[in-house]
Structure 1
Amino acid sequence: MSKSVHCPKIIDSHAHIDFPEFDDDRAELFKAMRAMGINTALIPGVSPSHWENQLHIAAQYSCPYALGIHPWFFSDNYSAELSELDKAVNQRSQEPKFVAIGECGLDKLRGGDWEIQLKVLEHQLTLAKSLNLPVILHVVKAHSELIALLKAVKLARGGVIHGFYGSLEVAQEYVKLGYKLGIGGLILNKDAKKLKACVTNISLNSLIIETDSPAMGPKHLAEKRNTPLILPSIIEEIAKLQKKSSVLVSERMFENVTQLFDL
């Protein structure tokens, strides 16, 4: 019997496959993903200037997608950009492939003006609440501020803390609020002790897997560009940390992402 019969179904819950780093070989990458049992990738939005190409790629490859404004990408004219987001979201609210608001969030290292970051995020959280959609959240050095906001807004569908790299205590705060943790290529770094300890002690029900391609690849990656093809390695590492089978972990990750985003 061929191995492909047992090939688990895998979804990359966060990959920027619309970015120009994939323009030369996007079709080949999707073919390679399918050969590894990676069904699809959710493509998050980052700014109005990116949405047109993002939506084109999502339609071309039948990918689920989110729309949002990332804290790295808003401009001085952020009010107009939020209006564009409202319009784009309302136009697509009934499309099955439109599954979340994001990528949005807070970033004290690389984000823009802090007060504007807060306004832009609060708008998007309110939008997600009004549409009963989950959110895809980017957070760097701002967990306490984000947790306070999420407690105040109380999104019924929750969402995912993308690229999670925090402590077990912070993870448990998010889990209590109904959010999942996005675990990516950083888990494959030997020095990621805090993240490994967190994943070891968190329920599989609270995790989903992602790559943030083309960024956030593990240190040992030979190719500078990250891709969804590292997902089986992430599954194996989670399985090792949790002392469970890779098949069980793979199945649970698939269930978690399909339930969260209603895929």
Structure 2
Amino acid sequence: MSEITKPNYLPKIIDSHAHLDFPEFDVDRDVLFQSMKKVGIQTVIIPGVSPEHWDKQHQIATQYSCPYALGIHPWFSDKQFPNALSELDKRINDSVHDPRFVAIGECGLDKLHKSDWEVQILVLEHQLMLAESLNLPVILHVVKAHNEIMPLLKRYKLARGGVIHGFYGSIELATEYVKLGYKLGIGGLILNSDARKLKDCITKIPTNSIIIETDSPAMSPKSSLVKRNTPLILPLIIDEIAKLQKKSSVLITERMFDNAMQLFDL
């Protein structure tokens, strides 16, 4: 087929987790969104992390018509958590009829962070209860705490499940989460040459169990192809998943789009 007769194909892509409200994007956010549109990135889901971030998060989500989640990240689970949870309840009550409000999170457990472990658990449980009562999916940050979070996810059986953000584990761990109704958020770490366990997992996991994300501006891959972590690296992530699954990039793109649409009811 000649270049002239090739059909123009613009993929439909969703970044299921990017903090585009963070100050790192203040200098060129408009340009970034324009560039995203040109490569088929339809939208970005912007997670919440703390009361101090929610106003700007809502402003950016409104300005760029992005879906968003509301939650308290384990890094922000401190001694003031009763006040933070009260603010979260109020913010959610004010947002519950906003069609762009699609999930609870980013919340979870992080054993590598200095924040109080018992407080992390209390803050997470409150958010799981919110997700259960509002019938919303949850966006989970889990670092070195899979054994501790599994019993909680079994106790709070969320009808709509959620996503294990930044998944970097084995096929055995992935299978446990999928059985509980959760999808795996696969980001730029899949581009790292030393991510052997994750790459092996992706070769074996069903495509309907995966959504793609970048966690921009954090979690930048070590790949020489990536100078800055933004949603614009999503085509690289798609190509790597396609290679590992021995499927076409077009097919993986369509599946990832459909999975995000379904999970977050977009």
Q: TM-score, normalised on structure 2?
A: 0.96
Does residue 113 in structure 1 map to residue 116 in structure 2? yes
Task: Give the equivalent residue in structure 2 for 1:73.
Answer: 76
Out of 204, 220, 223, the residue aligned to residue 223 of structure 2 is 220
Q: Given the superposition, is the C-alpha separation of residues 30 and 181 from structure 1 closer, same or farther in structure 2, using an over 3 Å criterion?
A: same
Equivalent pair of 1:215/1:225 in contact (CA under 8 Å): no
How far 1:222 sits from its partner (Å)? 6.4
Q: Is the 8 A contact 1:107 1:139 kept in 2?
A: yes
What percentage of aligned pairs have identical amino acids?
71
What are the Cα deviations for residues 18-51 of structure 1, in whole angstroms up to 9, with x where unaligned?
0000000000000000011001100000000000
Structure 2: runs of 5 or more not aligned: none
Partner residue of 1:241?
Answer: 244
Aligned match of 1:32: 35
Gaps of 5+ in 1: none
Equivalent-residue separation in structure 2 for 1:127 and 1:71 (angstroms): 16
Superposed CA deviations along residues 201-224 of structure 1, whole A, max 9, x for unmatched, are: 000000000000001111025666
Rounded Cα–Cα distance in structure 1 between residues aligned with 2:180 and 2:5 = 43
> Where does residue 211 of structure 1 map in the other structure?
214
> Among 104, 108, 111, which residue is 2:107 paired with?
104
Distance change >3 Å, CA 111–CA 95, structure 1 → 2 = farther
Q: Which amino acid aligns with 1:31?
A: Q
Distance verdict in 2 for CA 1:90–1:244, change over 3 Å:
same
2: CA distance between counterparts of 1:224 and 1:7?
23
Pick one of 51, 55, 58 that aligns with 2:54.
51
- The reply to whether residue 171 of structure 1 matches residue 170 of structure 2 is no
CA RMSD of aligned residues (A): 1.3
Report the secondary structure of 2:142's partner residue: strand
Secondary structure of the structure 1 residue equivalent to 2:139: strand
Shift of 1:6: 1.2
Deviations 1:39-82 (A, max 9, x none): 11000000000000000000000000000000011331100100
Cα distance in 2 for residues equivalent to 1:62 and 1:4: 29
Across the two proteins, how many residue pairs are aligned to each other? 263
1:137 matched to 2:135? The reply is no
